[in-house]
Structure 1
Amino acid sequence: MIHAKKLIIIASAFVLAGCASEAAVTPTPEPIALTAEAAGHYCQMIILDHEGPKAQMYLAGMENPLWFSQVRDGLAYVKSPEQSAEIVVMYVNDMGKAKNWSEPGEDNWIRADEAFYVVGSDALGGMGAPELVPFAEEDAALAFANLRGGEVRHLQDITQDHVLAPVDHDETNEEVSQ
C-alpha cells in the first residue's frame, strides 16, 4: 500500500513538472499581418476601413488576437477595471514606419510595452477619438509631438483617464496628415 502511494506521488510530480516546463517554454505569439478579415473587438467593423494606428492583443488560451480599430481602444481594454483575462502580449503599429496616417501599415508591429506614445496630440484614431500614437523610437515620437502637440509617455504612464474618459465627437474636427 505504501509502495503504491509513493508511485502515485512520484507520478504526480512528473505530471506537474511536465506541465510547468510546458508553460515555461510556451513562446510569446508573434504579431500577425493585418488583413481584410480583421474586425475590431468592440465595433466588429473591418479594421482596414479606419485610419490611424491599430492594436492587436493575444489573450491566454486564444489562438488568434483581438483587433482594435485604434490604439486607444486596445489600451482601454488593458486599463479597464472590468478586464480580467490574462493578456499575453499586445502589439501596436509603429507610426514611425507608417506610410501615412491613412495607411499605418499591415506588418510594422511593435510590442505595446516597448512603445513611446504621444498622448494629447490633435490626432484622431480610426473611431474618431483622440489617439495615443505609438512609435518604436523616442526621437520619432518627440518629432510627432512637436508637430502635432501632446507629450511622450511610456505605457505604464498612461492612465485610465487617457483612454476611458468620455469623448466629445466634434463634426468639424478633421484629421490632418502626418
Structure 2
Amino acid sequence: MELLTQIPVLFLIVFLIVVILVLLFVVIKQQRRIKQLLTPRYGFLGKPLAFLMLGFLSIGAVNLINTVNQKEFTNVQTASADFVVDINILSTQVSEDIYRLSATPIIDGIEWGSKRDSFDINWTIQNGRLEKYIERDVSQVSPGGIEVRLRKGLNRVTATIFMDGQKFEKTIEIDVEI
C-alpha cells in the first residue's frame, strides 16, 4: 500500500520536472532568438544597403545624364522702338518768363504708345546753373508737365524718358530775353 501512495507523488515529481525542463528550454530558445533578431545580419538594421545604394546611384546617374544632354534654349526676342520725344513749350509772362514744359513720347508713330504705357521723365535745365525735375508715371491719361522759371539767356532743356529699361533724350534750346 505504501507503494500505491508513492506512485502519484512520483508521477507528480516527474511531471513537474518535465514541465520545468520544457519551460527552461522555451526560455533559452526565445532568448537566443531575441539575441539573433537584435543583431543585424547585414546592412542597416538588417536591411540590405546594396539595393538602396544602387537606387541612389541610378537616380543620380539619370539626373547627371539629363543635365549633360539638356540643350539650352535661348528665346531671343528683338524689339525695335522708334522713340521720338517732342517737347511742347508754352510761355506765359509773369515777373520773369515762366514756361510750361511737357514731353510727349511717340512710339512707332503713335503718341504715348498704348494707354497702358507710363513713363518717368527727368528734366534738366542748364543756364549757368543746373536744375533737375522728375515726373513719375506720366501717361496718356495723366500727361504731366512742369512749369519752370527760366533765367535770361540761352537755356538748354533736356527731357530724358525711361521706358522698358531704355533711356531716350531730346534737348532743345530756349532763348529768354527779359
TM-score calculated relative to the size of structure 1: 0.17
Flag the structure with larger Rg: 2
Structure with bigger RCO (C-alpha 8 Å, 6+ apart): 1
TM-score calculated relative to the size of structure 2: 0.17
Higher strand content, 1 or 2: 2
